[in-house]
């Protein structure tokens, strides 16, 4: 399923003011950017517009400010990093709407780039307020949405402005939809999905959407213990999503040929980075211990399935990868992806953070920039920020 929307290639952008919604929601520590992946991912669209003589007005949210100015959520560090990456000055304007911003935009020359201040300093952004969307749109003559990470949200800067201006997709959105769409519509087989993370209920819709399509569904992480419990195993103090027990039982009855669960687990007496750990078979978890990672036999089992796959989608770590003692399982999955000859897609969120942390990000086919957006896409939901764009 290729993207069926117009893209930035279809624009006559020379001399035009173009509002570009990017996803610059990057992690900050003491005001410094700790991971600039999302900024780098936006460069192809920005550079294309600059090359074609557009006047580029970038906008984004950052963090969760409470609908008012918050210095800790300012996009100033992003403007600095963008200036370095683009090799030209990208001034941060003091606001995202208003007379001062309108005046600054009016002074722009062809090929200039400016960045508006955090759109979420206005509560109207997340409410998709029509007047706020109109104010944003009034700055420009064309609109490009390249923020895949927020495409599942109908906000003023992602959906509202598209009703006021000719609206197209940027290269990042095109790439995301083409990779994820191709995997769902026409995957090279075997098609394997790996689901991890904490709770089954967070993944029910995506599991329901994927199970009929995949050849194998590999389940790890906190989710696995609810499946074990549904089979009657003792899971000790491991994560349990009690409301999903019946669901897990039903899945195992219906799809026992497709679902692959861990066979051994690394357990510890408490949820601590330095807790002493041991490996047990899945029917050997003591009542006072909890599972925090998959064991070595499971690592080998999962890796074998992944290496034989034609297409792999991975969403969610298989252990507490933030702690070295419980990272081996997640590392083994990431490594197996790089050894697969197939198309390997990492579905944003914690899985993306893991492949980045362990140095595998550039060795997989595609790392999605959108955790929630990629999940909703895999669930088969329409993404409002993309629906609102002009059809090709």
**Active-site residue list:** 38, 199, 349, 372
Report the DSSP pairing between strands 259-260 and 216-219.
Answer: parallel
Report the DSSP pairing between strands 142-145 and 32-33.
Answer: unpaired
How distant, in Å, are the alpha carbons of 14, 347, 352 from that of 368?
30, 5, 7
Q: Where are the beta strands (DSSP E) in 146-232?
A: 167-169, 191-195, 216-219
Neighbour tally for 29: CB within 10 Å: 8
> 61 exposed, middle or buried (CB, 10 Å; 0-12, 13-18, 19+)?
buried
Identify whether the C-beta of residue 354 lies closer than 8 Å to the C-beta of residue 234. no
- Rounded to whole angstroms, the Cα distance separating 328 from 165 reads 49
Identify whether the C-beta of residue 113 lies closer than 8 Å to the C-beta of residue 46. yes
157-187 exposure pattern, b = at least 16 Cβ within 10 A, e = fewer? bbbbbbebbbbbbbbbbbbbbebbebbbeeb
- Rounded to whole angstroms, the Cα distance separating 357 from 78 reads 21
| Chain centre distance of CA 265 | 28
Longest dimension (CA), the chain: 70
Instruction: For 56, list phi and psi in degrees, rounded to 5.
Output: -95, 120
- Rounded to whole angstroms, the Cα distance separating 354 from 327 reads 9
Report the DSSP pairing between strands 278-281 and 264-268.
Answer: antiparallel
Q: Considering only CA atoms, which of 232, 228, 336 is closest in space to residue 291?
A: 228
Neighbour tally for 54: CB within 10 Å: 29
Identify whether the C-beta of residue 13 lies closer than 8 Å to the C-beta of residue 50. no
């Amino acid at each position: 399923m290729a993207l069926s929307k117009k893209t930035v290639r279809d624009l006559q952008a020379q001399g035009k003011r173009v509002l570009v919604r990017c996803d610059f929601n990057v992690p900050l520590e003491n005001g410094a950017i700790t991971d600039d992946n999302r900024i780098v991912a936006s460069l192809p669209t920005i550079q294309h517009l600059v090359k074609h003589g557009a006047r580029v007005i970038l906008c984004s949210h950052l963090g969760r400010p409470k609908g008012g100015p918050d210095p800790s959520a300012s996009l100033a560090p992003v403007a600095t990093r963008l200036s370095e990456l683009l090799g030209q000055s990208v001034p941060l304007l003091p606001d995202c709407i208003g007379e001062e911003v309108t005046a600054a935009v009016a002074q722009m020359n062809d090929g200039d780039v400016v960045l508006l201040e955090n759109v979420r300093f206005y509560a109207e952004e997340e409410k998709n307020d029509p007047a706020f969307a109109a104010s944003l749109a009034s700055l420009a003559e064309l609109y490009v949405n390249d923020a895949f990470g927020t495409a599942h949200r109908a906000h003023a800067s992602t959906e509202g402005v598209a009703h006021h201006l000719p609206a197209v997709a940027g290269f990042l959105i095109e790439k995301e939809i083409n990779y994820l769409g191709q995997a769902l519509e026409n995957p090279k087989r075997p098609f394997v999905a790996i689901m991890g993370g904490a709770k089954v209920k967070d993944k029910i819709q995506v599991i329901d959407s994927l199970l009929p399509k995949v050849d194998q569904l590999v389940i790890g992480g906190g989710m696995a213990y609810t499946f074990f419990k549904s089979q009657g195993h003792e899971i000790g103090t491991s994560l349990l999503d009690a409301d999903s027990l019946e669901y897990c039982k039903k899945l195992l009855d219906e799809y026992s040929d497709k679902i692959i669960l861990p066979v051994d687990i690394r357990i510890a007496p408490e949820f601590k980075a330095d807790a002493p750990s041991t490996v047990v078979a899945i029917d050997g978890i003591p009542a006072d211990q909890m599972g925090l990672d998959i064991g070595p036999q499971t690592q080998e089992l999962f890796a074998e399935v992944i290496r034989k796959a034609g297409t792999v989608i991975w969403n969610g770590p298989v252990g507490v990868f933030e702690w070295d003692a419980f990272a081996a399982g997640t590392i083994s999955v990431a490594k197996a992806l790089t050894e697969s000859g197939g198309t390997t897609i990492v579905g944003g969120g914690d899985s993306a953070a893991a492949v980045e942390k362990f140095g595998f990000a550039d060795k997989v086919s595609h790392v999605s920039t959108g955790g929630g957006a990629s999940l909703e896409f895999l669930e088969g939901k329409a993404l409002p920020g993309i629906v609102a764009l002009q059809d090709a």
